[in-house]
A and B are shown apart, each in its own frame.
Chain A
Amino acid sequence: MHVESKLRKPLITGGKTLHDVSEDICKRVEQKPSLYWYAAMIISNITLIVGAYAVYRTLWDGIGMWGLNKTVMWAWDITNFVWWVGIGHAGTLISAILLLFRQRWRMAINRSAEAMTIFAVICAAMFPLLHMGRLWIGLIWVLPLPNTYGSLWVNFASPLLWDVFAITTYFSVSLVFWYIGLIPDFATIRDRAKKAGRKVSAYIYGGLSFGWDGAAKTWSRYETVSLVLAGLATPLVLSVHTIVSMDFATSVIPGWHTTIFPPYFVAGAIFSGFAMVLTLLIITRKVYNLEDYITIKHLELMNIVIIVTGSIVGIAYLTELFMAWYSGVAYEQYAFYNRVTGPYWWAYWSMMTCNVISPQLFWFKKIRTNIVATFIISIIVNIGMWFERFVIIVTSLHRDYLPSSWAMFYPTIYDLGMYIFTFGLFFTAFLAFSKYFPVINMAEVKSILKHTGEKVKK
């Protein structure tokens, strides 16, 4: 029998039984959604439609609709891409790395974090896809397929192509990982629908649950599959943002050409990913009354991850400055001098304030266990992480080697519209998920209930 220290706080409060877990989570799927949900869905759909106009103009008139110019030839598109991919790091990190470390608090949050990952990666993919201009041609050209030019193959030395492989692999493996976890929970919903005589949902969830019956043999294989997938997904998570950082690091632009980029980007990705998980979960737990499953303890642990990764990011910023000075290279020194004091100083200092200073407030227990403070800081962190990418990309480009080609970047409403479009897409998908899918991994929560539920811990 499992024995756990009495000193550890319960991970599930409210004296829940196994049946209560099924009841609490399945009820959201079975009942009509609340008015809040409808309101949120309508706002998300409007956002999506408004943004879709920017996508339409981008496709119809070309990417000349964006504010890019000859000097700043990458700006909001790649900023938004890296931002969304970074957010997409938390889900698989929580379910894979925390599984390997046997952190059981992951069980209440992994389902929605993984869903968030999948939707964030879809949003991220919109930017490189639409930047191709004629994406129906571009989509074929990024794949190593025979063509009528020779064949003239894709360039395997290009980090942009590595990105294609990294992001498609990350997306599909995360999707599989997520779905494997959903199968037993779909079976619970299916059996509840059968019992209540709801034929349509019994049929739909019967299809989704793949004929799962919870046999001990299948559970044993399932556990092996989860463990191996976690082992595979762990280096995969780290590889994705490493490769994203190589889009910059392998170039010869001052401010980009640094070896610190891979670890610095990975830490930043986890940092922003956890911030977005917090933002979403604080709303979800409130709207769906999941306070007994996603407790203050969970929020506190996530806030600790935010302090750790936020501090790594802070050290990386300072290391960049130091290395620029220490390198003795005039171009490198100027790139950073310009970042801190040049025309984009406000972006640099917003980044510093949001990413380095604000998470340090979590050293105070009162702040890291306070829901309102956590919610506000999680949003500040996400704003800061957007500025980080903007600073890296735009300030490194806008003052070219020749002062005659110096330029500023001014976004157009289509740049803004594209960003709004991905927000609409993200929240529409997340709201649909929170209605039709079990938002908490019931099977996993049930497996720890006996050892860490409030009943045994008192």
Chain B
Amino acid sequence: MDDKGVKFVIGIYEDEDVLLDAISSVRAKGVNIYEVYSPFPVHGIESRLGYKRSRLSIAAFCFGFLGTCLALTMMIGMTTIDWPMIIGGKDFLPLPVFIPVTFEMTVLLSAFGMVGTFFVISDLKPWGKPKTFDLRSTDDKHVMAIEIEKNNMSEAALKKLLKSNGASEANSKLMDE
């Protein structure tokens, strides 16, 4: 085997509850898990892996606020300052009239801003390159990947650890970084 790339040990899990317990026991042994890949969202996996809650909702709020400001600036600039006109007997700054457009612009920018941020931080883009440890991880298997170099245990010991924690298979995989 040539030495290019990073060597991983991967554990294949069939069941999400076995996987969750395995994550806890493997981490309790001081093993650093690179990432877990699942075909569907497994509830409670973030806390087991020690991930913090995503701050994307804050991004959504900020973009939404930007949308509100942009909409109001646009409408006040156009109908109050640039070309004031009385429509339906309302004054030059008819705020209730601005509600629908302001609301729509808030939602539009909030949604697009948040999704855009999600794509950028998760490196999702058309023809992006997936990290595929095992092709079955988008079908029916959960894959736990452990980078050998980042841990003190040997490859064989890691495999044994995964097997003892319910992995149906424990394989080696060379990934080019």
Interface residues of A (CB under 8 A from B): 1-2, 17-19, 22, 144, 150-157, 159, 161-162, 165-166, 168-169, 172-173, 176-177, 180, 183-184, 187-188, 190-192, 194-195, 206-225, 228-229, 232-233, 235-236, 239, 243, 246, 442-444, 446-447, 450
Contacts and interface: CB of A to CB of B under 8 A. Distances in A.
B17 interface: yes
B127 A206 contact: yes
Interface stretch (B4-12, B41-49, B166-174): B41-49
B156 to A, nearest CB: 26
Contact of B41 (A151, A166, A235, A447): A447
B138 A187 contact: yes
Contacts of A213: 37, 130-132, 137-138
Nearest to A209: B130
A403 B114 CA distance: 56
Contacts of A218: 122, 124
Given A156-B79, A225-B56, A232-B110, A211 B128 contact: yes
Nearest to A176: B115
Contacts of B42: 216, 219, 447
7 contacts: A156-B78, A157-B87, A165-B105, A169-B105, A173-B108, A212-B130, A220-B45
Contacts of A194: 135
Contact of A215 (B37, B40, B108): B37
Sorted from nearest, which 5 A-B pairs have the closest CB atoms? A211-B128, A18-B140, A213-B130, A447-B40, A153-B78
A113 B63 CA distance: 28
Contacts of B157: none
Contact of A17 (B56, B105, B119, B140): B140
B151 interface: no
A216 B140 contact: no
B25 to A, nearest CB: 16
A187 to B, nearest CB: 5
Contact of B15 (A184, A208, A450): A450
Chain B interface size band reads 35 or more
Contacts of A22: 39, 139-140
A394 B92 CA distance: 35
Given A191-B135, A210-B119, A165 B100 contact: yes
A107 to B, nearest CB: 10
B46 A19 contact: no
Interface string B136-163: 1111100000000000000000000000
B30 interface: no
B40 A446 contact: yes
B68 to A, nearest CB: 13
Contacts of B115: 176, 180, 225, 229
Contacts, number: 202
Contacts of B22: none
B35 A216 contact: yes
A169 B112 CA distance: 10
A180 B115 CA distance: 8
Given A188-B39, A232-B107, 4 more contacts: A187-B138, A210-B124, A235-B107, A450-B16
Contacts of B97: 156-157
A260 B129 CA distance: 52
A2 B79 CA distance: 55
Q: Which of B74, B121, B127, B138 has the most CB of A within 10 A?
A: B138
A217 B79 contact: no
Contacts of B139: 18-19, 22, 188, 191-192
B107 A169 contact: yes
Interface in B69-125: 74-75, 78-79, 82-83, 87-88, 90, 94, 97-98, 100-101, 103-105, 107-108, 110-112, 114-115, 118-119, 121-125
B131 to A, nearest CB: 5
Nearest to A163: B100
B124 A183 contact: yes
B82 A151 contact: yes
Contact of B83 (A152, A173, A217): A152
B87 A155 contact: yes
B82 A176 contact: no
Contacts of A232: 60, 64, 107, 110-111
Contacts of A215: 35-37, 131
A165 B41 contact: no
Contacts of B32: none
A224 B53 CA distance: 9
A357 to B, nearest CB: 35
B88 to A, nearest CB: 6
B101 A161 contact: yes
Contacts of A210: 119, 124-126, 128
Nearest to B45: A216
Nearest to B121: A221
Contacts of B94: 157
A131 B62 CA distance: 38
A216 B79 contact: no
Contacts of B41: 219-220, 222-223, 443, 447
A212 B38 CA distance: 11
A204 B92 CA distance: 53
Contacts of A17: 140
B56 A221 contact: yes
A228 B114 contact: yes
A19 B37 contact: no
Given A19-B140, A176-B115, A188-B39, A211 B135 contact: no
A207 B127 contact: yes
A229 B114 contact: yes
Residue among A206, A228, A443 with most chain B CB within 10 A: A228
Contacts of A156: 75, 78-79, 97-98, 101
